[in-house]
Structure 1
């Protein structure tokens, strides 16, 4: 955000003192005023002591709902990372709060702002080069599941582990990255499927799926503490169209050039897209089209030396921030509005629920319930650890 707008970062919050101090140093070096932001370990205190225009939320997923709603109540516009929530009712409450307080919420599904995918949407999808589309495949074959099985550890003195855990169940501290556990997120479907499914919905102008089904589990990597699936297939059904997801955290990718991507099949051709490139393959003798990711290393040389940066995603994130700011200025909806983030997040959660229950699910978003399935409806809202209180869409 600092790269694309003259913003002043006035406050930072983290329950990890090391992370907090490192972030403060970086911000003071980057922003024009060279001021060090005020530092907090409790987001509620930060919001009560500062009048903020914008709040950026990059916390673990189990915190997104409470922090987003609190920021909206405080009058701020919000940029929140994906997935927006761990359960569906959290997402409903976040959407209700954004509309009630008339604030802009941009979700970090930045494939919608990825330059080469924006080009593919305009020149291929919107131009009708694929013809009628009746099948989509989405997939991830990264070996990204944590397969360690370490002993519990003493909580380091720089980490407030109780506050880090917040509304989630209290697990013994072991230092294993939190994405390995369903207590804090939605597994690889919530991490990776959401990006590709959201990109496909954007490209094809799709809303809520009519039905969601999924199978999978821990088939191979059984030795780990992690409780997220290592193998999973999910189907998101629309009229005359299925969008099918698959991930494996073992084995080889189907296409080494597209290990995490989508493939859209039309009667006139096929479009493959990823964070790195796209390829259009026409039916018959038409012209093949290819484009690579747009990097901005000359314009933003700090991209090259930034620790831990995904340099291929930096231009998309900057464009996503510009779109966020434009929506605030104009009073409209951003490209990844909270409603779109909710649909993509909730659909992925439904896939995990379907895998757990062993049957397809139909979600009625107007009634906020799953049709004819009391057992599934009981999973729409997970229990919060006391004293935290689960938000309700009618009471935000």
Structure 2
């Protein structure tokens, strides 16, 4: 048995569950066969939800009890794939509505891999149902959603690992320990971050009937109900602000979180941004194709830039960060890092770790991000250790919230055409009532926003 496995009885007692172990068994919510290994649920059984779950299965003897997805095809496929992956060989219980899944079972860990507009509501509900979380980034689509998740996690003592797995990436851990922490950069006063991927869909598909296998009403949930113009899967949903926060909310959150971790940064003092739809004006996409954001700290600026058109500034680092110090420069991405000293000195390069030999099944998994798999496995191990040891995981919800909210605030600053400063204690934008109003999006009825003053 994997060393990260928990004793089920101690775990349930330790988390202060209302129901005793015997009561859970007699209620039918826990069977004798389900007492071995962590009880896991998955909400969102598309590409990355399954990928995260499979990484967990690789490092712990878990029991995947139930899976939820509003797409019947995704759901059935996930059930069969999980049956072939988990040791028991069982097909998990399959659900269309995550609320029914949480009501029917008790979980140790719930993985949330749904589109961004669902993260906060499902995270809060899963924690209230007794689960710890592996929550994909960004944690929220508005700032106060993130505050609600953080408050719930602290109140209920739930461990929440956010899918900002750069904090568990082997070569970036090496960069932190052997470049930054050893002072090779000297005084650091500027950071560049970027994404130049052409990932904005920008299409014009026609309105069509909703297919029988998709519950589009439930897929939309608290977001505005757009006319159905084809399956939202395959990142079509990411091209709309109704469901997320554009490229900044999707890609900057990773690099900014990595930089904050590497340099031990908290909330920015001030955030400003410019941008919009400058080039790709055809199509339905309403996210910015061009944006520059500045996250200000004392004697340090972290600058983000994305373009979904043209060529990258550095073809070797199309999605990356560059930390500038007086003694040298550190470039980092999901694929490698490179330290270039000022003047004479040794250039240091470390490449991504793949672990293909240790986990050969990675090579057979469709659409797997091989470069990210080792980091996700370490992220899962760290979450289990945090639950077992009652300490915060490496990508704790507070860190994920700061990184997510900062990117959301950059969008607010871009829309308002002025800088904003957020006060996390007062939960307001300082001296800016209009920006403060934008910290919370309206929810479509009957869904209720999880933030409570």
Helix, strand or coil at the partner of 2:166: helix
- Measured against aligned partners, the alpha-carbon deviations of 1:12-39 in whole angstroms (never above 9, x if no partner) come to 0000000011111110000000000000
d(CA) in 2 for partners of 1:377, 1:260: 31
SS of the residue aligned with 1:271? strand
SS at 2:376 equivalent:
helix
Partner of 2:110: 55
Aligned pairs for 1:206-355 within 5 A: 206-355=265-414
SS at structure 1 position matched to 2:171: helix
SS of the residue 1:34 aligns to:
coil
Q: TM-score, normalised by structure 2?
A: 0.86
The 2-side partners of 1:393 and 1:229 are apart by 31
Is 1:109 the counterpart of 2:154? The answer is no
Aligned residues between the structures:
394
Q: Deviations over 1:79-105 (max 9, x none)?
A: 100000000010000000000100100
Matched, 1:368 2:423: no
TM-score by length of 1: 0.99
- Distance in 1 separating the partners of 2:140 and 2:181: 31
Q: Distance in 1 between matches of 2:267 and 2:178?
A: 25
SS of 1:302's equivalent in the other structure is helix
> How much has 1:392 moved relative to structure 2?
1.6
How far residue 308 of structure 1 moved from its aligned partner, in angstroms, is: 1.0
Deviations 1:15-65 (A, max 9, x none): 000001111111000000000000001111100110111100000000001
Which residue number in structure 2 is paired with residue 37 of structure 1? 92
The 8 Å contact of residues 92 and 393 in structure 1, kept in 2 or not, is answered as no
Indicate if the aligned counterparts of 1:211 and 1:236 stay in contact, CA closer than 8 A. yes
Aligned-residue CA RMSD in angstroms? 0.6
Structure 2 unmatched runs, 5+: 1-55
- Tell me the distance in 2 between the aligned counterparts of 1:301 and 1:159: 34
Task: Between 175-184 and 59-68, report the one with greater CA deviation.
Answer: 175-184
Partners in 2 of 1:131 and 1:348 — Cα distance? 27
- Among 71, 91, 95, the alignment partner of 1:16 is 71
1:191 equivalent in alignment to 2:250: yes
Gaps of 5+ in 1: none
Rounded to whole Å, the distance in 2 between the matches of 1:392 and 1:243 is 29
- SS of alignment partner, residue 75 of structure 2: helix
Match of 2:149 in 1: 94
Summarize the alignment of residues 53-202 of structure 1 with structure 2, pairs less than 5 Å apart: 53-175=108-230, 177-202=236-261
- What are the superposed Cα offsets for residues 317-363 of structure 1, whole Å, 9 maximum, x if unpaired? 10111111110110000000000000000000000000000000000
User: 1-side partners of 2:170 and 2:275: how far apart?
Assistant: 34
Deviates most, 303-312 or 163-172 = 303-312
Q: Using the TM superposition, give the Cα deviation of residue 393 of structure 1 relative to its aligned residue in structure 2, in angstroms.
A: 4.2
CA distance in 2, matches of 1:181, 1:80: 21
